[in-house]
Amino acid sequence: MKALLIRDLRLGVRAGGGLGLGLAFFLIVVVLVPFAVGSNTDLLSRIAPGVLWIGALLACLLSLDRILALDFEDGTLDLLATAPLPLEAALSVKALAHWITTGLPLVLAAPVLGVLMNLPPQGFLWLVVSLFLGTPALSVIGTFGAALTVGIKRGGLLLSLLVLPLYVPTLIFGAEAARRGAIGADVGTPMLLMAAITAGAIALMPFASAAALRINLR
């Protein structure tokens, strides 16, 4: 398992691995928002938690098909399926690699972008915490979507259509936690609920993802 993780991380950081792409996309989305809604700092600071969450979510979405499609095309998935590693474990590791190379950088970049969006000072901590706890769910659920669409040519758009509705609960609770943190209210309930969804997703989604992948490898 460790070998797979190291390999995926190595591939992620080398040329063509798409490491900076997610971050760049996050930045661009956040920069576009004031152009669309006006530069009124009150408005921006009110919508900042939500906009940052959506930016992070979309940036995660973009890099999802890399998780599986490349390995599918060069035959690695077939070989992994015959390896002693259970497919569920392999997919969990791939989701983890995705989170480390995409989700985690977004979490770290969020405070900087929060400044651009006039996020209130007390909101920074809660934004980062909510993203830290929520982005793993995005990676794991996204892996499921990738497993469903791995055999489909140009399946990226379909992948987004399938995965975005599944992101709704995490988005609702995560953005709400960030928002409450920004106005100084109690973040307990939404944060806990979102963490619960993340925990459940990490535990259960690999089984669904492995089932979908096995179907596609037939």
Partner 1 sequence: MNLTITDLTIARGGMPVLAGLSFNLMPGQALILRGPNGSGKTTLLRTIAGLQPCVAGTIDAGEDQIAYAAHSDGLKAMLSVTENLRFWAEVFGQDNIEPALTAFDLTGLQDRLAGTLSAGQKRRLGLARLLVTGRPIWVLDEPTVSLDAASVALFANAVRTHLGQGGIALIATHIDLGISEATVLDVGPFAAKPNARFGTSDEAFL
Partner 2 sequence: MSLWEYANPVKFLRLSERVLPALWFFAVTSICTGLVWGFFFTPDERLQGSTFKIIFLHVPAALMAINAWFMMLLASVIWLIRRHHVSALAAKAAAPVGMCLTLIALVTGAIWGQPIWGTWWVWDPRLTSFLILFLFYLGYIALWEAIEDPDTAADLTSVLCLVGSVFAVLSRYAVQFWNQGLHQGTSVPIATGERSVSDVFFIPLVIAMAGFGLLFLALVLYRTGTEIRIRRTAALLARDLSREGAR
Q: Which residues contact partner 2 by CB under 8 A? A: 144, 148-149, 151-152, 155, 158, 161-162, 164-166, 168-169, 172-173, 176, 179, 189-190, 193, 197, 205, 208, 211-212, 215-216, 218
Which helix (H) or strand (E) element contains residue 167?
Answer: helix 156-183
CB of 163 to partner 1, least distance (A): 25
* Angstrom distance (rounded) from CA 44 to CA 51: 9
CA 89, 11, 24, 165 dihedral sign is negative
Tell me: does residue 81 bind partner 1 (CB under 8 A). yes
Q: Which does 79 bind (CB under 5 to 8 A by kind): partner 2, partner 1, none?
A: partner 1
Q: In whole angstroms, what is the distance from residue 158 CA to residue 116 CA?
A: 32
Beta carbon of residue 176, minimum distance to partner 2 (angstroms, whole number): 6
The distance of Cα 53 from the centroid of its chain, to the nearest Å, equals 10
Min dist CB 126 to partner 2, Å, is 15
Task: By CB under 8 A, name the one of 43, 79, 108, 161 that touches partner 1.
Answer: 79
Question: Residues in contact with partner 1, total (CB under 8 A)?
Answer: 25
Q: Taking the complex as a whole, how short is the minimal distance between the CB of residue 161 and partner 2, in angstroms?
A: 5
Give the nearer residue to partner 2 in terms of CB position, either 77 or 113.
77
Residues 140, 150: Cα–Cα separation, whole Å: 15
The single residue among 23, 27, 58, 85 that binds partner 1, judged by CB under 8 A, is 85
Does 153 contact partner 1 by CB under 8 A? no
- CA atoms of 151 and 112, how far apart (whole Å): 38
CB of 23 to partner 2, least distance (A): 28
- The binder of 85, among partner 1, partner 2, none, by C-beta within 5 to 8 A per type, is partner 1
Q: Is 150 helix (H, G, I), strand (E, B) or coil?
A: coil
CB of 151 to partner 1, least distance (A): 13
Distance between CA 81 and CA 193 in Å, rounded? 34
CB < 8 Å & 24+ apart, contacts of 26-29: 26/55, 26/56, 26/58, 26/59, 26/106, 26/109, 26/113, 27/109, 27/113, 29/54, 29/55, 29/58, 29/59
Among 84, 121, 153, 168, binds partner 1 (CB under 8 A): 84
Which residues would be at the binding site for partner 1 (CB under 8 A)? Answer: 2-4, 6-7, 10-11, 14-17, 73-76, 78-85, 217-218
